[in-house]
Amino acid sequence: MSGQSGGIADERVGPWSQPQSSEALGGRRLKLPFIDNIWRVRGELLLDKPIAPDEAFARLDPLFRAPGTTYNVDDDTLTYTKRNPAAQDPLATFTRGSLRIAPQGRGSVLRYDLSSTALLLCFLAPLLFLAFAQIAVGMNAWEKANVEASEQGKKDEDKPKAIKKLNPIDEFLGAPAPEDPSKKKDKKKDKGRHSPTPAYVLAGLFFTIYLVGRVLEPWLIRRRLRSALAEA
């Protein structure tokens, strides 16, 4: 693996590779300070021994030989993108990113800037379910107000009705007495209400997944990069 002079990017030949210019890749990035930390992971990996960019990217090359992955190398920077990565892809969580190798002191440093669509979706999912919960709460309040208004109207319009009496024969035979119309209860009053509890549970579940992934995934990618750069 060797860089070409004049800033021309090296192209990887193969069915998995459709090289794109670094300008085209960088042009589609969202520049949102602090906010983009939700789905982006930045860091650096210090190496005890100096290593040339060509050698470093040669060691990292197996990580990018996966279906749906395109990448290009421009001097000391590698930029890649992934489309529908497989679950066994070591970089499946981070679908876009760049890695830069540079000398530092007596060794080298690998700086990386990666983006994760999965982390972004896990962050947005709780907000969506909280919105569903609020819709359920609002519908319950609206239905309750309608029921109370309807009951109030019935109280104003309805007049006490006389209780029907059984004839002596039916009473002698033990037939049940007729119900009092004024004491009838609406058994379906609470039926069909919308509970926000499932939405709250799902929101908490996805938020937990996001927190775990935000801590675990950066640690895993750092370990993979260090392992790939380690000398055989």
Token pair of 187 as six digits: 């058994």
222 pLDDT tier (thresholds 50, 70, 90): very high
Q: What is the average pLDDT across 119-129?
A: 95
Whether 63 and 135 map to the same domain: the answer is no
The pLDDT score that the predictor gives to residue 195 is 87
Q: What is the average pLDDT across 14-26?
A: 40
| C-alpha atoms less than 13 angstroms from C-alpha of 189 in its C-beta half-sphere | 10
Whether 92 and 178 map to the same domain: the answer is no
Q: What is the average pLDDT across 51-66?
A: 91
Residue 29 near residue 42 (C-beta atoms within 8 A): no
The pLDDT score that the predictor gives to residue 9 is 38
Q: pLDDT tens across 140-199, in order? A: 888 888 877 777 766 655 555 556 666 666 565 566 666 665 555 554 455 447 889 999
Q: What is the average pLDDT across 48-55?
A: 91
Does pLDDT of 209 surpass 60?
yes
Whether 143 and 40 map to the same domain: the answer is no
- Does the pTM surpass 0.95? The reply is no
CATH no. for residue 84? Answer: 3.30.530
Whether 110 and 224 map to the same domain: the answer is yes
The pLDDT score that the predictor gives to residue 155 is 62
The total number of structural domains in the chain stands at 2
Residue 108 near residue 118 (C-beta atoms within 8 A): no
135 pLDDT tier (thresholds 50, 70, 90): very high
* Average pLDDT of the residues of the chain: 78
**Who has greater pLDDT, 28 or 52?**
52
Whether 10 and 100 map to the same domain: the answer is yes
**Who has greater pLDDT, 36 or 202?**
202
CA dihedral 80, 86, 89, 91 (to 10 degrees): 40
The pLDDT score that the predictor gives to residue 164 is 64
CA dihedral 151, 155, 159, 163 (to 10 degrees): 60
Give bridge partners of residue 102 from the DSSP assignment: 109
Whether 174 and 201 map to the same domain: the answer is yes
The pLDDT score that the predictor gives to residue 32 is 62
Whether 37 and 92 map to the same domain: the answer is yes
121 pLDDT tier (thresholds 50, 70, 90): very high
The pLDDT score that the predictor gives to residue 123 is 95
Does pLDDT of 40 surpass 70?
yes
Buried b (16+ CB within 10 A) or exposed e, 175-213: eeeeeeeeeeeeeeeeeeeeebeebbebbeebbebbeeb
Whether 153 and 63 map to the same domain: the answer is no
Whether 45 and 113 map to the same domain: the answer is yes
Residue 74 near residue 7 (C-beta atoms within 8 A): yes
Whether 96 and 127 map to the same domain: the answer is no
Whether 137 and 151 map to the same domain: the answer is yes
Whether 9 and 95 map to the same domain: the answer is yes
Domain holding 191, by residue range, is: 121-208
